[in-house]
Amino acid sequence: MNQVKEKEEILLTDRAWVEINLNNLTHNINEIKKVIPKSTKIMAVVKANAYGHGMTIISKKLEEIGINDFAVATLKEAIDLRKSGIRGNILILGYTDINDLKYVIKYDLIQTIVDYEYAISISKLNLDSKLKAHIKINTGMNRLGESYKNIDNIKSIFKINNIDIKGMYTHLCVSDSEYLDDINFTNNQINNFYSLVNRLKQDKFNLGKIHIQASYGILNYPELNLDYVRPGIIMYGVYSNNSKTKIKLNLKPVLSLKARVTSIKEIEANESVSYGRIFKANKSTKVAHVSIGYADGIPRELSDGIVRINNKFTKIIGKICMDGLMIDVSNIDVKVGDIVTLIGNDIKALDISKNLNTITNELLSRLGNRLALKVVNY
């Protein structure tokens, strides 16, 4: 996303943009702090351009309000974050190619050790200084991480000369579920991780920072008392889905998504709109073209979705195009340049993603880099 420009310039020229409410970000952080132990710190997950919110602007605000720990998915994100001036710890949650680990050191980042084999390849490298790392433990997600069962392997990772272990973590895979089976599974993940931690502690390993919970770990397993929690989606003020949670926070969405009317036309009954002629008017209809499309991150499946313009709700009609979409403005007083809200106010990211059978995490993180970014404070 473009960095913040002069407000006036954005108002005059931008075709489509996200509006970021930083007061709501602060509010959500305070909500999270209310339910985690005093000694637990927030590691803010700002991967994927802070879930479409703009990594730089979000991270700078977080640093300003006292957050000192960040997590991203990739080395590129981590370097961008460091170059943007963030001084805190930056953990790369994903895999970094062995040949690129020199940059992890150069930019003072922290790498996740994704498994034993990865650690062994690192041990053979000639690095300028020790690689700071957190060991990822697999307790059932089966994505990344060395299995909690392989205690000997994990111990040998701690002994590798050119790796400086700063922490160890695992990730829960059904922590959002209310079903007993899933709760049992999650408790097993947690217990297996804890037994590993205890065994290593008994053997005098210096484990560094220990962490487990992402957003739904915080909401459903609030009794855990670890060094970090790793919230992503709830920091941005939305739930992933409609599942019931043990803890309910009073979250406020940080992001709104807006675009402009660029052209208005009248069509007759039986005329169609957009590709495939899926929408056919059954009466004469006033149609407005809006300058945002699927290349900006509006899912094409949202054809039929609700938008808001001039304080009225109306529908997207016809297939969404790459750069634009059409809405029915038959009964609405509309002119070129008017602002259309696609997410925000009464149009919730959660409702949209539910209708599309996905989660808000996906909807928001896919918002494209063609969108401008505007910071509002209200």
Ligand X SMILES: *Cc1c(COP(=O)(O)O)cnc(C)c1O
Both structure tokens of 360:
């808000």
Say if residues 258 and 19 touch (Cβ distance below 8 Å). yes
**Nearer of residues 190 and 317 to ligand X, judged by Cβ:** 190
The strand pairing partners of 5, in sequence order, are none
Neighbours of 86 (CB within 10 A): 21
Of 339 and 350, which CB lies nearer to ligand X in the complex structure? Answer: 350
**Of 41, 47, 136, 258, which residue is the catalytic one?**
47
Q: What is the size of the binding site for ligand X (CB under 6 A)?
A: 11
**Shortest separation between residue 171's beta carbon and ligand X, angstroms:** 4
In the region spanning residues 246 to 285, those forming contacts with ligand X, defined by CB under 6 A, are: none
45 binds ligand X, rule: CB under 6 A: yes
> Which residues, other chains included, contact 308 with Cβ-Cβ below 8 Å and sequence gap of 6+?
314, 340, 341, 344, 345, 346, 347
Taking CA atoms, 205 is separated from 149, 154, 335, in Å, by 17, 11, 67
Nearest to 242 by CA among 351, 363, 348: 351
What x-and-dash track marks residues 52-71 binding ligand X by CB under 6 A?
Answer: --------------------
Q: Which residue is nearest to ligand X (CB)?
A: 232
Residue 171 found at the interface with ligand X (CB under 6 A): yes
Q: Which is nearer to ligand X, 32 or 327 (CB)?
A: 32
- From residue 80 to residue 119, what is the string marking binding to ligand X with x (rule CB under 6 A)? -------------x--------------------------
* Residue 79 Cβ vs ligand X, minimum distance, rounded to whole Å: 18
CA atoms of 135 and 158, how far apart (whole Å): 9
Cβ atoms within 10 Å, residue 24: 19
DSSP bridge partners of 373:
18
Which one of 76, 244, 246, 275 is the catalytic residue? Answer: 275
Of the candidates 326, 259, 323, which has an alpha carbon nearest to the alpha carbon of residue 289? 326
- CA triple 92-154-45, angle to 5 deg: 20
Would you say 221 or 294 has its CB closer to ligand X? 221
How would you classify the pairing of strands 306-309 and 312-317? Answer: antiparallel
Touching ligand X, residues 208-237 (CB under 6 A): 214-215, 230-233
Q: 275 an active-site residue?
A: yes
Which of helix, strand or coil describes residue 271? coil
Look up 47 and say whether it is catalytic: yes
Output the smallest distance, CB 4 to ligand X, in A: 24
Nearest distance, CB of residue 29 and ligand X, angstroms? 13
Work out whether 78 is an interface residue with ligand X (CB under 6 A).
Answer: no
Residues that bind ligand X (CB under 6 A): 45, 47, 93, 171, 214-215, 230-233, 361
Q: Which residues are catalytic?
A: 47, 275
